[in-house]
Amino acid sequence: MKVISTINELQSTLKSLSLSPVGFVPTMGALHEGHLSLVRTAAEQSPVVVVSIFVNPTQFNDKNDLKNYPRDIAKDLGLLKNILRENDIVFTPSVEEIYPVEDKRVFSFGNLDLVMEAKHRPGHFNGVGQVVSRLFDIVKPDLAIFGLKDFQQLAVIKELVRQTGDKVKIIPHPIIREKDGLAMSSRNMLLEPEIRMNAPLIYKTIKQASLMIRENDIPEIQLMVKRNIENLENFELIYFEIVDDTELKPVENRAEMIAGEKYYGCIAVKAGKIRLIDNIEIGLV
Ligand code: AMP
């Protein structure tokens, strides 16, 4: 694999390789098996894969979160070396390379700007829009893989691509979990041991919610989720919403749900000082 940190070198390398389709996996590093699974999928589908490692400052509404975000580029490269092939590229740009001047673009993602993560992290998806559109312009991928772990982000990116008319194909990837069910996340390593021990209850709870929908209405399910999570010391429920697949409009009552349609139960939890998100498909069968 090649490790490249400038746009010029990245573009000239891709040009001289002249391989297609170009597969792309954008990440913020601190890689785990979730990321690596996306990379393997990209490699199965493309003769050349670009993996970017860039902690994007514009998507952090909380500056402390940006400061504390885990970074270990040497370890990341070691993990990628086991998967990537000779022609694949790890792109590790600096902030100045991505934003030579301040990015003042303002995106509008409709309802996606109003719910869940958007409500609690103002400006977050605008930053995601900035970095992903910038990276797409630089890499010019034919396909890009994004994890369903960040369910709302995936919807935002599909909307971004729809708005820009970019030809890139967005491929969703299932959530990769630890053995105990906790969704893998770079932030998991920041959890205090006791919090980490209790964190699998997040997935257990949304799994329970997905079963309860057969016989219970949504307010009861939301109550169960809140009780379950807040029974744990130092855990706080930020939200649990059941939303439709595309616009992510919250469904308030079971009667609004249509059999055969896809819905997702999306949760955000403050676990100690760390914010964790997860989601599960929920449907009337
Ligand atoms: P991040 O480094 O957190 O920005 O994540 C980079 C990509 O990896 C995004 O598309 C995420 O949705 C995806 N990702 C992160 N964790 C997981 C996971 N546990 N399972 C599947 N995809 C993931």
Tens digits of residue pLDDT in 109-129 = 999 999 999 999 999 999 999
Strand partners of residue 269: 237, 276
147 in contact with ligand 1, CB cutoff 6 A: yes
Asked if residues 17 and 137 have their Cβ atoms less than 8 Å apart, the reply is no
Nearest protein CA to atom 11 of ligand 1, as residue:
147
- Write down the catalytic residue from 35, 120, 124, 173: 35
- Closest by CA to 77, choosing from 98, 91, 94, 93, is 91
Strand partners of residue 276: 269
52 in contact with ligand 1, CB cutoff 6 A: no
DSSP annotation of 176: P
Q: How far is the C-alpha of 138 from the C-alpha of 105, rounded, in Å? A: 17
User: Would you call 124 a catalytic residue per the annotation?
Assistant: no
Nearest protein CA to atom 14 of ligand 1, as residue:
147
pLDDT at 285: 76
CA of 157 relative to ligand 1 center, distance in Å: 13
H or E segment to which residue 238 belongs = strand 235-244
Give the residue extent of every domain in the chain: 2-173, 186-280
pLDDT at 137: 98
pLDDT at 260: 93
Q: Which atom of ligand 1 is nearest to the CA of 32?
A: 16
What is the best residue among 41, 150, 157, 177 to mutate for testing ligand 1's pocket, by most ligand atoms within 8 Å of CB? 150
pLDDT at 253: 96
Asked if residues 33 and 129 have their Cβ atoms less than 8 Å apart, the reply is no
pLDDT in tens, 66-77: 999 999 999 999
Q: Which atom of ligand 1 is nearest to the CA of 149?
A: 12
CA of 28 relative to ligand 1 center, distance in Å: 9
Asked if residues 43 and 131 have their Cβ atoms less than 8 Å apart, the reply is no
Which pLDDT band, with edges at 50, 70 and 90, does 239 fall under? very high
pLDDT at 274 over 80: yes
DSSP annotation of 171: E
Annotation: CATH topology of 2-173? Rossmann fold (3.40.50)
Q: What is the pLDDT averaged over residues 141-164? A: 98
pLDDT at 281 over 80: yes
271 in contact with ligand 1, CB cutoff 6 A: no
Matching CATH number, 186-280, of 2.160.10.10, 3.30.1300.10, 3.90.1150.10, 3.40.50.1100? 3.30.1300.10
Give the torsion sign (CA, 246, 251, 257, 262).
positive
pLDDT at 74: 98
Share of the chain above pLDDT 90, in %: 99
pLDDT at 155 over 90: yes
